[in-house]
Structure 1
Amino acid sequence: MKLYGYWRSGATYRVRIALALKGLDYDYAPVNLLKGEQKSPDYLKVSPQGLLPALMTDDGATLVQSLAVIDYLDETYPAPPLLPADPLMRARARQIAYAIACEAQPLQNLRVQKYLREEAGLDEAGVKAWLDRFVKGAIEAVETMVAETAGDYCVGDQPTLADICLVPQIYAALRFGVDLAGAPRLNAIYERCTAHPAFVKAHPDNQPDAARG
């Protein structure tokens, strides 16, 4: 397999975690978002949206959108599973993951922040207010969700899709200075996850393109 990604891309981070949890090897093709390489003609042939990540399977198929990639990995390489066996808990894990991936992460990514600064004319205080309203709000909603599902991780005592989405989101929120004091359960889960070998392997700082900017 071949993964196209960027070290600080939250969506790429999710897929790296899933691959690490599954113990799967892959080739890595860095695509520098800051240099606009995701909009190059060659990469647009891989991902028509010009977004990261993209995964080329062993059969030569190319998949985009991190949650679709993770679903593929879980269905193709079922051990260990990334969702609980119980249907209700599977739905709980998905609702946490989707709340993060659909309601928080898209509103903080690079192209949105670039728009806010360069086209909407927001200063840093305005961008911070945006992040607090939308990203912090989504995280605090997830804090309430995990109250009825959490064990060591978001849903029970094994990492699931929920944790795969949570960790990149908390990483980014901390990086952007979002106040997470209102999410003590998630902070504790985040600390537990970041000590797990698969999450350590997937961490942005441990990627080959981390030193390139």
Structure 2
Amino acid sequence: MTGLVLHNYFRSSTSTRLRAALNLKGLTYDYVAHHLRKGEHRSADYLALNPQGLVPALVLEDGTVLTQSLAIIEYLDETVPEPPLLPATAVDRARVRSLAYAIACEIHPVNNLRVLGYLKSAFGADDEASAVWFRHWVDETFVPLEKMLAGDPRTRRFCHGDTPGLADVCLYAQVLNNRRFKVDMTPYPTIGRIFDACAALPQFAQAAPENQPDAE
């Protein structure tokens, strides 16, 4: 697969998880940055590409535009099957998806930049109040997620087995985001251990926000 164009933002956790997945698949892409804090994702040109005005978006060689990071990652797994990001059996795939969705659907929607911005503009939340909000919703999911991971023998070096997959790219990106808001990771040793295993791999390190061309 060649000719990919990734529209993203260095600090976006959804962009980070997709960059990690692309790297795990060994896929190269052209990097197009959209500065979210400057509103570049709301430009007419980008809205014509992705009417939601969200990142990431992946443009295929034929011009097809894919949006929503988890949908894009599953597309990559179906079209570039090696190495797989989802396990072989239906029940194990359901488990991995449930772990990934816990982060992508329970934490990210209430803690992304536009939500935090609305808390400030509509309700007068200052930076500390926004951080308290962020940490609350992380803990609401990480408490049960830690139990789900620690209590299942299928959790090994990574969320499911000894190779990284869909759940791991979500976990990695979320923990990086947590650091910006000073989330205490002490209660989550299994999550922390898996994050460290991911961070030790070059595919994840290369996806980290600080290693992107638009990093600040």
What's the TM-score, normalizing by structure 1?
Answer: 0.96
Q: Give 1:177 deviation, angstroms.
A: 1.1
Which residue matches 1:141?
Answer: 144
**Aligned to 2:21, which of 12, 18, 43?**
18
CA spacing shift, 1:209–1:124, aligned 2, 3 Å: closer
Please state if 1:5 is matched with 2:8.
yes
Which residue matches 1:156?
Answer: 161
Please state if 1:101 is matched with 2:86.
no
Which residue matches 2:66?
Answer: 63
**Aligned to 1:42, which of 42, 45, 48?**
45
User: 1:100-119 alignment to 2 at 5 Å?
Assistant: 100-119=103-122
Aligned partners of 1:178 and 1:114: how far apart in 2? 19
- Note the alpha carbon deviations across 1:71-113, whole angstroms, 9 max, x for none: 1111111100001112221111100000000001121111111
Aligned partners of 1:210 and 1:56: how far apart in 2? 22
SS at match of 2:6: strand
Aligned partners of 1:121 and 1:135: how far apart in 2? 21
**Aligned to 2:82, which of 68, 76, 79?**
79
Q: RMSD over aligned Cα, in angstroms?
A: 1.1
Q: Is the 8 A contact 2:6 2:56 kept in 1?
A: yes
Aligned partners of 1:37 and 1:125: how far apart in 2? 26
SS at match of 1:210: coil
Amino acid at match of 1:170: V
Which residue matches 2:186?
Answer: 181
Aligned length: 211
Name stretches of at least 5 consecutive residues in structure 2 with no aligned partner. none
> Which of structure 1's runs of 4+ aligned residues deviate more than 3 A?
none
**Aligned to 1:171, which of 170, 176, 187?**
176
- Note the alpha carbon deviations across 1:27-49, whole angstroms, 9 max, x for none: 11111101100000000011101
Which residue matches 1:122?
Answer: 125
Which residue matches 1:204?
Answer: 209
Q: Give 1:116 deviation, angstroms.
A: 1.1
Q: Give 1:197 deviation, angstroms.
A: 1.2
